[in-house]
Structure 1
Amino acid sequence: MEFESIPGVGAKTADALAELDDPETALQQGDVLTLMDAPGVSEGRAAAIARGAIRKRHDDPGGLLATEQARDLYESVLALLQERAVTTYAEKRLETLYPATTQSRIEEVRASVEAALKREPTPELREALANVAPLESPSGLRVRERCLATTDAERYAAAREAIPELSAEVVDDGHDIEELARSYATVIVLDETFAGSDFTGDVRVLPDALESPGDVVPERLLAFFAENRERLLAAARVHEESGLEPPLDLDALTDGLARVDEDGTIVGDEELERLTTAVDDLDAAVGTAESVANDHLRAAIKERDVTIEGQDFLSLVEQGARVDSLLSRELDDEFDAALEKARNYLTESLALTDHESELADHVFSGEPTFPVSRRDDAVSRLNTELTSARDRRSAELKADLADDLAALKTPAEELVRNALELDVELAIAAFARDFDCTMPEFVGDATGAEGDDDADATPGFEIEGGRSPILDVEFAAVEPVDYSVDGVTLLSGVNSGGKTSLLDLVGLIVIAAQMGLPVPAERVQLSRFTELHYYAKSQGTLDAGAFESTLRDFGDLVAGADGRLVLVDELESITEPGASAKIIAGILEALDRQGATAVFVSHLAREIRDAAGVDVAVDGIEAVGLVDGELKVDRSPVKDHLARSTPELIVEKLADDADDADFYDSLLEKF
């Protein structure tokens, strides 16, 4: 696939996509999660790329949202969906839903939505989703007890790139390798020429190590699971709460995660814990053992009377003996006992094995002295032994755990993917339930294109029990509206009667339907439109330049209006009423010739109808009357009815209430 042929993808993004393992499959499936793995591609950017790839796959030119007001309505629908998502991923994934103009894309989404509507967004499920997020690849991992060694400069460079977690060293011969083995617990030699050589320490000749870095650095896989522990556990809980079939054994995953700490350290192994504690506590334990020995000698000296004959004293002094030597004959047994206590304490406090205890015995040995002091060389040897044993044990356990977890990595990724996609479905389900939605029925392409389902159906829409979710009132308080239109229609009605809200509802339903979503109504039939042109009410009379620009926009519109839905709110406000009526009449004539579907809200419906050279339908939102100064309105338009205006209703009320109604009756006759 030519990545730059995807709408919105340039050369830099195409290069980033090329670094993915299977970018074509990800693009074909609109797989936002995989696209996010491309360098520099954020969640939002991945959603935009996926949307472009979907359009290309369905050969969808897009463009339904032809005006700013139409785009605002789409943003409103999208916001209502995103508000019901728990995860940031789902919010971005929902952005791949766009109002399509091709039947194949609409049907594709409708199929997935049908499944989503069966979901139940329970509080427990939403709580579990709160901790689910796309998995992260650990960065900056360093393993310091192992290194790579090679005599070849090119292999050295390859080693640094393939296994950056380990130090890599260039060596000349076996002697250099021996030196490295004194500094590292394990040395991995990459040159086959050293196979069969006898080295001191843990030296492994692995010429193929760069081809399977996971075997050399099991910490890489462990860090993945450790880094994503909470996400994985949350995704497992989502599967349990929702009844989704997990792609792996959840108990095996939980057990594996329990064996590795947040920083990738193996936990739960008694021998590793013993060795780790021994290394950490060695210096303190040696210091305490010294105190044990010296306390014993100090007490022994205090309790005994030491007598030295004069001749013995003179002989010892002549030999240059120290006071310790003068006392040694008297305290030999106590000194041995003190050293034994020190050794026992060191062995017991660090839980040393027999072999380790033999090394520990050398920490306190030699000629009698007071105070007793450690032998630093022996402490160093013991520390080296314990550290090496700890690192070997840790490496073995990491390798074993990595072997167990390796088979779980791919299904674990699927586990999280399923949970995140479920959040998308739950958002759609919540949207449908919160706004009493139903799936709309498409009755053909508004262009009547050959080969389209119901291509001969009259272009338009029919809404029963529609309620707008974007009004500034509680949705439960919104009055349901019935309305249907085919061809071009004028919508009349009193001020604040709901004409603008009705246009919003029509536009919103068309957009949601062509996104493949359920719509807020009891029943909807509609054509599939190529473009939605929605023009909001002007804020006042336009100057000459702006008026000319607006007319140019409508000139472009009527030049190619086939398959379009046009919604216009009080266009007459752009200029003088007399001129406005003639202009709107001309626009409606052109749209009628094109076979377009259009609804124009206007207070000049009578004048426009009279000025038009074709029959223009006029519908009206009728006010029942005035109650306590407030309009009582039937929000559903009456077909083929010119609704009375607010002034007419007020005059009628005055005529009914006045004792002398001649004046008001004469005014009423003017309407």
Structure 2
Amino acid sequence: MEFTAIPGVGEKTAASLAELDDAEAALRSGDVAAIARAPSITEGRAAAIARAAVRREHDDDGGFLATDRADEIYDQALSLLQARAVTDYGAKRLQTFFPSSAASRIEEVRGFAAAATERDPDPDLLDALAGVEPLEPAEGIRVRERCLATNDAERYAEAKAALPELPVEVIDERRELGELGRSYSTVYVLDAEFAGIDVDGDVRVVPDALERPAEFVPERTLTFFADNRERLLAAAAVHETAGTKPSGDLDSLRAALDRVDEDGGIVGDEELERLSVAVDDLDAAVSTAESVGNDHLRDAIGEQDVTIEGTDFLSLVEQGARVDSLLSRELADDYDEAVRLAREHVVDSLDLDSGEAEFVERVFGGEPSFPLEHNEEAVSRLSTELAADRDRRANRLETELAAELRDLREPAESMVEEALELDVELAVARFADDFDCTMPTFAGEGFEIEGGRSPLLDVDFDEVDPVDYGVEGVTLLSGVNSGGKTSTLDLVGLIVVLAHMGLPVPAERARVSRVSELHYYAKSQGTLDAGAFESTLREFGDLVAGASGRLVLVDELESITEPGASAKIIAGILEELDEQGASAVFVSHLADGIREAASFEVAVDGIEAVGLVDGELRVDRSPKKNHLARSTPELIVEKLAGESDGGFYRDLLEKF
């Protein structure tokens, strides 16, 4: 697939998409989560790309929603769906559902919707979904204790690009490699010519390291799982609650996650924990050991009776001896015991092994002195050795665990994507449940709706009166003010939009014809000036000159100008649509004038008011076929005529 052929995808975005493992499959299926894994592509941008790719796949030009009001109906339908998604991802993924004239796209979504409506939106499952989010890539990783080394400038640049987490050092000779071996816990040499060289430290010659970078930076994998731990566990809970079988083994995933801490480090290894504690507590242990040794010396000095012959004293002073030296002959054994106690404290408190204990021998010792003091250089050397041992063990364990987790990564990603897609299915299922929806059928001309109820009204859905209405060809819809003509048009528009999205519709039964475009014109707000009137006429001129196979819904077009002229204009538009065989519903109070002006017999349906009760209209919301509904003024005059003994109201009523 040529990515730049997708509308809205330029060279930079195409390059990001190319980094995905199977971008074509993700684009064809509208997989927003997979597309969003591409560098620099957000979920919102991924949804737009997916929508454009799906349109291209089904040869959809995106022209189904031909007017602003048609767009508004779609936006309202989409909002109702998105409100039933638990995750942000689900809301964005639903944006890839759109009304289309392409039969292949409609059938594709109908298959999805049929399966979705079989789902049970259990409250526990919805709660579990609340913690699921798309997985985040591991970022900001910096490794300081290991490095790469090369003597080739080109390979240096390749190493910086392939393994940006590691320092890359340039070396020219063996001596420099030895220095690196003493500075880093592990050195990975990229040049084969250094194979067999013997230098201090953990130096490994790995010429192919750049071909398998993840093995040399296990932190990538460990950080990924650490950062996404809660998302992964939430997705696992979703599958368990839903009773679905995820792509990976949940027990293996949980066991592996238990071995990674929140920073991507290893947990559960006693030896690594011992070394880590030893490095962290070394200075404190040495300081305490000094106190232990000095306490022993202080007690020993306090208990000693020291006798020095005069000639010995003079001789020692003449030789420049310190008082410490004068005392050393008498306290040599106690000093040795103090050193032993200090060394023992360091070894015991840090749980050092025999090899590490040898370094402690150099930390305390030497000529007797008081107070007892440690050798800072020896402490530094011990700290370096402990840290190197810790880092080497951590790296080995991280490498082993990362290898295990790499095998789990693809199933884990699929598990999360499946949970997120389940949210999309459940949103459709909840929409269908909340609004008593059914899957519509495509057949014939026009539409036929039974028991349709609009969720777009500003009342509780349970209080919405059901509507039965069907139209084939061109029809005028008449009725009293506030009788439900506009809401009927909205219901028709909504059902047609949802049907062409491939989704269930809010009706007991619905049949619609497959149309190429939906033209829905909302009621104009007052009479138009000359310029706006001309622009509107041009718009309808383009409408009647357009292709066939459209559904046209128009709400009170007569409000654009004087009633007499409006009737003639509407009649002319209806004549053109009738000749094309289009289906159309025009809401109008000028039915008589339009029929008189038209050159064909215009069908008229009516939403009939059954009377006035306490000043409120009582209306049969389902339009009656071939019936010109009475107006509100007529109903009021009729009511007054029945209540009055005079003849004025009866005479007035006869004029209707």
TM range, normalised to the smaller chain? over 0.9
**Offset, 1:523:** 0.5
Corresponding residue number in structure 2 for 1:9: 9
Tell me what 1:242 maps to. Answer: 242
| Mapping of residues 69-88 of structure 1, within 5 Å | 69-88=69-88
Q: How does 1:464-479 map to 2 (within 5 A)?
A: 464-479=450-465
Task: Specify the alignment match of 2:652 in structure 1.
Answer: 667
Conserved 8 A contact 1:64-1:101: yes
The CA deviation at 1:180 is: 0.3
Q: Provide the residue aligned with 2:33 in structure 1.
A: 33
Matches within 5 A, 1:155-554: 155-443=155-443, 457=444, 459-554=445-540
1:603 pairs, out of 586, 589, 594, with 589
- Pick aligned residue for 1:632 from 608, 612, 618: 618
CA shift digits 1:571-590 (9 cap, x unpaired): 11111111111111111111
CA contact (8 A) 1:64 1:99 kept: yes
User: What are the equivalent positions in structure 2 for 1:6-155 lying under 5 Å apart?
Assistant: 6-155=6-155
Q: Give the drift of 1:14.
A: 2.9
**SS of 1:235 mapped into structure 2:** helix
Q: Distance in 2 between matches of 1:582 and 1:311?
A: 141
Confirm or deny that 1:585 pairs with 2:571.
yes
Q: Which residue of the partner structure matches residue 454 of structure 1?
A: none
Write the letter of the residue equivalent to 1:111.
Answer: G
Note the alpha carbon deviations across 1:209-238, whole angstroms, 9 max, x for none. 111111211111111111211111111111
Cα drift, residue 602 of structure 1: 0.7
User: Which letter does structure 2 place at the counterpart of 1:187?
Assistant: V
Kept after mapping to 2: 8 A contact 1:561/1:591: no
Separation in 2, partners of 1:183, 1:4: 49
Distance 1:379 1:13 in 2: 55
Q: Is the 8 A contact 1:488 1:599 kept in 2?
A: yes
Kindly tell me the number of residue pairs found equivalent between the two proteins: 656
1:196 Cα offset (Å): 1.6
Cα pair 1:100 1:106 within 8 Å, conserved: yes
> Which residue identity does 2:326 align to in structure 1?
L
Residue identity opposite 1:523 in structure 2: R
Whole-Å separation in 1 of the counterparts to 2:367 and 2:2: 83
1:459-489 CA distance string (max 9 Å, x none): 1000011111111111111111110000011
Shift of 1:397: 0.7
Residue number in structure 2 paired with 1:453: none
- Most deviating of 354-363 and 646-655: 354-363
Q: Aligned equivalents of 1:242 and 1:440: distance in 2?
A: 28
Displacement of 1:324: 0.6
Q: Which of 646, 660, 665 matches 2:632?
A: 646
Inter-partner Cα distance in structure 2 for 1:302 and 1:368: 17
RMSD of aligned alpha carbons: 1.2
Tell me how far apart the structure 2 counterparts of residues 4 and 167 of structure 1 sit (CA, whole Å).
Answer: 37
Contact kept? 1:561, 1:596, Cα under 8 Å? no
Kept after mapping to 2: 8 A contact 1:149/1:169? yes
Q: Which amino acid is 2:54 matched to? A: I
Task: Tell me how far apart the structure 1 counterparts of residues 10 and 549 of structure 2 sit (CA, whole Å).
Answer: 31
Amino acid in the other structure paired with 1:403: A
Distance 1:11 1:67 in 2: 32
Deviation at 1:305, TM superposition (A): 2.4
Q: Secondary structure at the match of 2:408?
A: helix
In structure 1, distance between residues paired with 2:506 and 2:424: 19
The CA deviation string for residues 238-286 of structure 1, in whole angstroms up to 9 with x for no partner, is: 1111111111110110111111112111111111111001000101110
Q: Which 4+ residue blocks in structure 1 deviate beyond 6 angstroms?
A: none
Q: Distance in 1 between matches of 2:418 and 2:17?
A: 23
Q: Match of 2:449, SS?
A: strand
2:554 alignment partner in structure 1 = 568
What secondary structure is seen at the aligned counterpart in 1 of 2:513?
strand
**Offset of 1:122 from its aligned partner?**
2.1
In structure 2, the gaps of 5 or more residues are none
27-36 vs 292-301, greater mean Cα deviation: 27-36
How far residue 29 of structure 1 moved from its aligned partner, in angstroms, is 2.3
Identity of aligned residues (%): 69
CA–CA distance in 1 between the matches of 2:546 and 2:513?
18
User: Aligned equivalents of 1:622 and 1:23: distance in 2?
Assistant: 56
Structure 2 counterpart SS, 1:642? coil
Q: Give me the TM-score of the superposition, normalised by structure 2.
A: 0.98
TM-score (norm 1): 0.96
1:561 Cα offset (Å):
4.9
- Structure 2: which amino acid aligns with 1:658? S
